[in-house]
Amino acid sequence: MMQLRPYQAQAKDAVLSEWNKGYRKTLLVLPTGTGKTVVFSKVVENQVSRGGRALILAHRGELLTQAADKLRAACGMECALEKAYTQQGYANKLQPCTLEGNVVRISDIIAYVGKDRQDATNIQMVHHTAFPTTSVIGTINSEIINNLVVNIIENSYGQPYIMLDEAHFKAVQSAKRENYDTIYAKEPGRVILKRVVEPMMQRFAMRT
């Protein structure tokens, strides 16, 4: 079972306090990486222990799987899992149905593909030479953000869709694969995450 950090316990108690006051529409905001999923897992545990039920909704199947894993790890709870698809890899074929949804999806990719490389290099998880030195989208975070945003605007302005040209799209796909192979799938990355990143995020959350 996971024990909540002080700021996580404070967040959980704040949610329950609002509910006890009769405020049912409660928003919890925490910085990235500080354990929002763990917090709401403990909120769910509290409700279930009192005979209640909980419904967790997410716009992506992998987020539901992550939530189920956290419920199991944090609280020892099993849950039923319903997703809009069950075929392996089918999520890659799904697209949001609105322009706003597409903007959110591509913005998320743009925000992280270069930032994860920058962060991994800064904490010495990988050396900067682990990534290609040339790419149509750039090699550092600021270049990647600028080049992708400009390309989207050039290809999408005034159109009923959001689009990258083929060269930039393939470069993004390649960069995501490289990030997975070089950062996310490596055991040293998980070790550094627990030793460096998690304490850093905890100190940040406690200051705010």
Q: Where are the domains positioned within the chain?
A: 6-75, 95-207
Q: Is pLDDT above 60 for 208?
A: no
Of 121, 134, 117, nearest in space to 177 by CA: 117
**pLDDT for 146:** 95
- Is this prediction's pTM over 0.85? no
Q: Say which residue, 149 or 121, is predicted with more confidence.
A: 149
Is 6 buried (19+), middle (13-18) or exposed (0-12) by CB count in 10 A?
exposed
Close Cβ partners of 7 (under 8 Å, ≥ 6 residues apart): 30, 34, 202, 205, 206
In this structure, what token pair is assigned to residue 3?
Answer: 């024990």
CA distance 177 to 136: 16
**pLDDT for 188:** 65
CA distance 157 to 152: 8
pLDDT of 161-201, one tens digit each? 889 999 999 999 999 988 888 887 777 666 766 777 677 76
- Side-chain-facing half-sphere of 185: CA atoms under 13 Å: 7
CA distance 165 to 171: 10
Q: Is pLDDT above 80 for 40?
A: yes
CA distance 35 to 12: 11
What DSSP string runs through 89-145?
A: TGGGG---SSHHHHHHHHHHHHHHHHHHHHHHHHTTSS-GGGS-S--TT-SSHHHHH
Q: Is pLDDT above 80 for 86?
A: no
Which residue type, as a one-letter code, is found at position 2? M
DSSP single-letter state for residue 29: -
**pLDDT for 32:** 76
**pLDDT for 12:** 93
What pLDDT band is residue 19 in, cutting at 50, 70 and 90? very high
Q: Say which residue, 148 or 92, is predicted with more confidence.
A: 148
**pLDDT for 42:** 92
**pLDDT for 103:** 85
Q: Is pLDDT above 60 for 205?
A: no
What pLDDT band is residue 148 in, cutting at 50, 70 and 90? very high
In this structure, what token pair is assigned to residue 86?
Answer: 């069950």
CA distance 95 to 42: 32
CA distances from 124 to 115, 117, 120 (A): 14, 11, 6
